[in-house]
């Protein structure tokens, strides 16, 4: 009984990881193709569908962590997925004026390469039980470049979207109301930018520690 | 007797160790360490007995009042003590004073000064509803009471707090203070009905008085120098709930929120209540463990922890 469940779990996770891998592969392919053929202004339109699907699917990973299907702690996946969903839905999808910005290209390419490596790595481990050492190396080394490029793109896009956020009044709740509550999406975006200041070095340091652990462990084996 | 001082990594912390009287107390040891290492005043020192490597037990912390002899395990002439630096410390009085000062000063700024002009509101921006004035008095009375209790009621044991807590705690109190003050004094604030306001402030005031009495009871459990350690609190609400002081504090904020009805105020209530609940769980557990009914110690009575009938 127990081994049937383990098999089911492996089957499910394999399918999940490889499907999302294909999604991100599409994103990268279309991004590079469009960049070459039409220019950076058209990249978002070309990648929108697979991007929205692949990025939103990541919500399932929170569920996986909560029910114990995978080992990653919810406390580290939540902020990561949160920031991705914020950029994808809260900035790019909500404010079309920002979609033609060149940082969209650097953003989706950084994300796509990272995710392609990550999902294929997990897909390999779940389906075949192992992943080659070069794959492990890629997973724990590409972030050294892609985190700075990705994070700079995220921060840049939020910053350049600010005027559009302020003008549109989107997602804002105003007073007066019974609960004396208000929400200003513009100020929330400023706070989000503020979080990147301590958040980014913290995340980068965490990944460096993970890298050290993972690569030294594989050396010992 | 000779005391060798090591760091947690095993390295000798003071070369050659320290020579102390056989009848010396831990406090004397702390003074001696401070004399040799100007930087590490006693409240910064955490002294423990060494734990055998591999053991999962928590180390025994040296109590400043006890004699060193009490910790010598057979060998009366030498003792090895592990030293840890707790970092710069501030007294609880200092910490509490600064964290409470913020709300006391920031809230009236939102009431008296036309700050909302900076948020883009034109025209009449000063508060007009009576509830906003009563809220100001209630809020300021609360934090004034807290500061007075800090200096005249609470009896702190030797305890100090790391300096970094000053920044963390002030950020918490000052940010929430400004957040709530912004909404209650807002030009577009919507007040509740008169009866609800009276019930809210009335209930809140009763709870504040009860809370003050709880603090008096807790104070009397200790001597004026903070000695006495842990006691079973008795009397008044403590007969039914271990942390009656937290209970009354939470209900007091509930009263404020019933009267002022802001989302910000309720967020603060939930956060404060969860922080206090964590403290209450730890305190209740500690008291139950200490007062287990064995060896002549009284057994800790059955009580609610913090919020009857939930916890």
Residue B223 confidence (pLDDT): 79
Interval B128-149 mean pLDDT: 96
Reported as a single tens digit per residue, the pLDDT across B214-266 is: 999 999 988 777 666 788 888 889 889 999 999 999 999 999 999 999 999 99
What tokens does A165 get?
């956020």
Residue B72 confidence (pLDDT): 81
Q: Which residues 6+ apart lie within 8 Å of B53 measured at CB?
A: none
Lowest mean pLDDT among B66-75, B99-108, B177-186, B242-251: B66-75
Q: Does the pLDDT value for residue A157 go beyond 90? A: yes
Residue B13 confidence (pLDDT): 84
Residue A130 burial (C-beta neighbours within 10 Å; 0-12, 13-18, 19+): exposed
Residue A27 burial (C-beta neighbours within 10 Å; 0-12, 13-18, 19+): buried
Q: Touching check for A191 and chain B: CB below 8 Å?
A: no
Reported as a single tens digit per residue, the pLDDT across A34-47 is: 999 999 999 999 99
Reported as a single tens digit per residue, the pLDDT across A124-154 is: 988 888 889 999 999 999 999 999 999 999 9
Residue B10 confidence (pLDDT): 81
- Residue B42: C-alpha distances to residues B34, B35, B64, B85, B242 (Å): 7, 10, 9, 10, 32
Nearest to B47, CA basis, from B57, B70, B38, B33 = B33
Interval A180-198 mean pLDDT: 95
Nearest to A127, CA basis, from A3, A9, A4 = A9
Residue A153 confidence (pLDDT): 97
Q: Touching check for A176 and chain B: CB below 8 Å?
A: yes
Interval B175-180 mean pLDDT: 97
Residue A71 burial (C-beta neighbours within 10 Å; 0-12, 13-18, 19+): exposed
Residue A55 confidence (pLDDT): 96
Measured between CA atoms, how close is B189 to chain A, in angstroms?
6
Rg of chain A (C-alpha set) = 19
Reported as a single tens digit per residue, the pLDDT across A94-132 is: 999 999 999 999 999 999 999 999 999 999 988 888 889
Measured between CA atoms, how close is A78 to chain B, in angstroms?
20
Q: Touching check for A178 and chain B: CB below 8 Å?
A: yes
Helix (H, G, I), strand (E, B) or coil at A97: helix
Q: Does the pLDDT value for residue B76 go beyond 90? A: no
What burial letters (b/e) apply to B65-88, b meaning 16+ CB within 10 Å?
eebbeebbeeeeeebbbbbeeeee
Residues of chain A contacting B261 with CB distance shorter than 8 Å: 178-180
Helix (H, G, I), strand (E, B) or coil at B91: strand
User: Is residue A221 among the annotated active site residues?
Assistant: no
Interval B84-112 mean pLDDT: 95
Residue B229 confidence (pLDDT): 72
Residues of chain A contacting B189 with CB distance shorter than 8 Å: 175-176, 180
Helix (H, G, I), strand (E, B) or coil at A33: helix
Of B188, B260, B261, the CB nearest to A175: B188
Q: Does the pLDDT value for residue B81 go beyond 70? A: yes
Reported as a single tens digit per residue, the pLDDT across A75-84 is: 878 888 999 9
Residue A1 confidence (pLDDT): 64
Interval B281-308 mean pLDDT: 86
pTM: 0.85
Asked if the Cβ–Cβ distance from A179 to B184 is below 8 Å, we say no
Asked if the Cβ–Cβ distance from B190 to A182 is below 8 Å, we say no
Residues of chain B contacting A180 with CB distance shorter than 8 Å: 183-184, 186, 189-190, 260-264
Higher pLDDT, B125 or B33: B33
Q: Does the pLDDT value for residue A219 go beyond 80? A: no
Q: Does the pLDDT value for residue A158 go beyond 70? A: yes
Residue B296 confidence (pLDDT): 80
Residue A221 confidence (pLDDT): 64
Asked if the Cβ–Cβ distance from B264 to A180 is below 8 Å, we say yes
Q: Which residues 6+ apart lie within 8 Å of A18 measured at CB?
A: A119, A120, A123, A127
Higher pLDDT, A131 or A19: A19
User: Is residue A154 among the annotated active site residues?
Assistant: yes
What tokens does B306 get?
């913090």
- Residue B182: C-alpha distances to residues A201, B109, B170 (Å): 32, 10, 18
Out of A41, A86, A147, A171, which one is annotated catalytic?
A147
What tokens does A45 get?
């339109």
ipTM: 0.81
Reported as a single tens digit per residue, the pLDDT across A26-73 is: 999 999 999 999 999 999 999 999 999 999 999 999 999 888 888 888
Q: How confident is the model at residue B14 (pLDDT cuts 50, 70, 90)?
A: confident
Can you tell me the distance from the alpha carbon of B171 to that of B166, in angstroms, rounded to the nearest whole number?
8
Higher pLDDT, B119 or A104: A104
Write down the mean pLDDT value for chain B: 90
């Amino acid at each position: 009984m127990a081994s049937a469940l383990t098999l089911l779990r492996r089957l499910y996770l394999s399918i999940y990881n490889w499907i999302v891998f294909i999604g991100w592969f599409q994103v990268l392919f279309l991004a590079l193709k469009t960049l070459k053929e039409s220019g950076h202004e058209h990249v978002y339109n070309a990648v929108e569908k697979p991007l929205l699907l692949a990025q939103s699917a990541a919500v399932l990973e929170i569920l996986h962590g909560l029910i114990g299907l995978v080992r990653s702690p919810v406390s580290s996946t939540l902020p990561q997925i949160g920031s991705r969903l914020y950029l994808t839905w809260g900035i790019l999808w909500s404010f079309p004026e920002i979609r033609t910005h060149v940082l969209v290209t650097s953003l989706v390419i950084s994300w796509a390469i990272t995710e392609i490596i990550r999902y294929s790595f997990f897909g390999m481990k779940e389906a075949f039980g192992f992943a080659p050492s070069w794959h492990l190396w890629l997973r724990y080394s590409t972030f050294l470049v892609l985190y700075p490029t990705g994070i700079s793109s995220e921060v840049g896009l939020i910053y350049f979207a600010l005027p559009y956020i302020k003008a549109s009044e989107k997602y804002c709740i105003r007073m007066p109301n019974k609960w004396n509550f208000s929400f200003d999406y513009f100020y929330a975006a400023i706070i989000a930018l503020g979080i990147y200041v301590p958040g980014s070095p913290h995340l980068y340091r965490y990944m460096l520690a993970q890298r050290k652990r993972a690569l030294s462990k594989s050396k010992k084996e | 007797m000779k005391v060798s001082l090591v760091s947690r990594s095993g390295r000798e912390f003071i070369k050659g160790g320290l020579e102390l009287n056989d009848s010396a107390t831990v406090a004397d040891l702390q003074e001696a360490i401070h004399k040799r290492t100007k930087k590490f005043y006693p409240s910064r020192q955490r002294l423990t007995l060494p734990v055998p490597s591999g053991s999962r037990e928590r180390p025994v912390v040296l109590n400043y009042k006890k004699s060193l002899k009490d910790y010598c395990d057979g060998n009366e002439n030498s003792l090895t003590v592990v030293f840890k630096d707790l970092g710069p410390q501030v007294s609880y009085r200092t910490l509490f004073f600064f964290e409470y000062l913020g709300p006391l000063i920031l809230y009236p700024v939102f009431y008296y000064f036309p700050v909302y002009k900076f948020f883009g509101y034109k025209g009449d921006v000063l508060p007009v509803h009576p509830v906003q004035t009563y809220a100001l008095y209630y809020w300021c009375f609360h934090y004034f009471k807290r500061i007075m209790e800090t200096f005249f009621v609470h009896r702190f044991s030797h305890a100090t707090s790391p300096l970094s807590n000053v920044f963390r705690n002030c950020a918490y109190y000052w940010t929430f203070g400004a957040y709530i003050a912004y909404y209650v004094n807002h030009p577009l604030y919507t007040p509740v009905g008169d009866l609800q306001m009276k019930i809210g402030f009335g209930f809140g005031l009763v709870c504040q008085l009860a809370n003050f009495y709880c603090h008096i009871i807790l104070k009397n459990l200790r001597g004026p120098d903070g000695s006495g350690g842990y006691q079973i609190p008795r009397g008044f609400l403590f007969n039914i709930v271990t942390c009656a002081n937290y209970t009354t504090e939470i209900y007091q904020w509930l009263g404020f929120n019933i009267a002022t009805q802001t989302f910000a105020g309720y967020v603060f209530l939930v956060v404060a209540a969860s922080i206090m609940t964590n403290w209450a769980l730890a305190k209740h557990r500690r008291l139950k463990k200490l007062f287990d009914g064995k060896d002549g110690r009284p057994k800790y009575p059955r009580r609610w922890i913090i919020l009857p009938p939930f916890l």
